[in-house]
Amino acid sequence: MNTRLCKILLVYSVALFCSLVVINNTTDYDSNFVFVEHVLSMDDTFAGNNGMWRSITTTWMHHVGYIAIIMTEAAIALMCWAGGWKLWCNRSDAVDFNRSKHLAMVGLTLGFSLWFVGFMVVGGEWFLMWQSSKWNGTESAGHFVIIIGIIMIFVNTPDVNDPGEG
């Protein structure tokens, strides 16, 4: 399998992953809403920590945060589906393929940003999610960051026309 097809497959893999996450978050809204609610409320952090002033305990704000996460996941999925399609349509020529990476890279960058900045930085550090024994999503977010980061590096590697590719 040539590298362009591998790159397309990996972009589509992120698109599929995010699509399933969106489906799960919308069809079983309450399951993950509870997660967001606990993280923002900081109700399972270490007793007596000095960061509790950061907690958000207003329910409508929990919904806004959760809906923003779902909408970002949907945008990632859409950009990766569209980006993968654009790559697929330009797979026969390296120059065209390189020029068509933009949408895929935007989708991948948004995915990296959601799970790194949104979950690890804001959730993990600002809302001290790492202190929670039950509502700690930093490890899962870290896995997504690593996977998407590796895919970003691979997809962004310039392609060249190889006479042996077909």
Q: Chain-wide mean pLDDT for the chain?
A: 95
- Asked if pLDDT for residue 155 goes beyond 80, the answer is yes
Over residues 159-163, the mean pLDDT reads 79
Question: pTM higher than 0.95 for the full model?
Answer: no
Over residues 25-51, the mean pLDDT reads 95
- Asked if pLDDT for residue 52 goes beyond 90, the answer is yes
- The conformational region for residue 134 under phi > 0 = left, psi -120 to 50 = alpha, else beta, is alpha
* pLDDT at site 119: 97
* pLDDT at site 1: 58
Q: Name the residue ranges covered by the structural domains of the chain.
A: 3-156
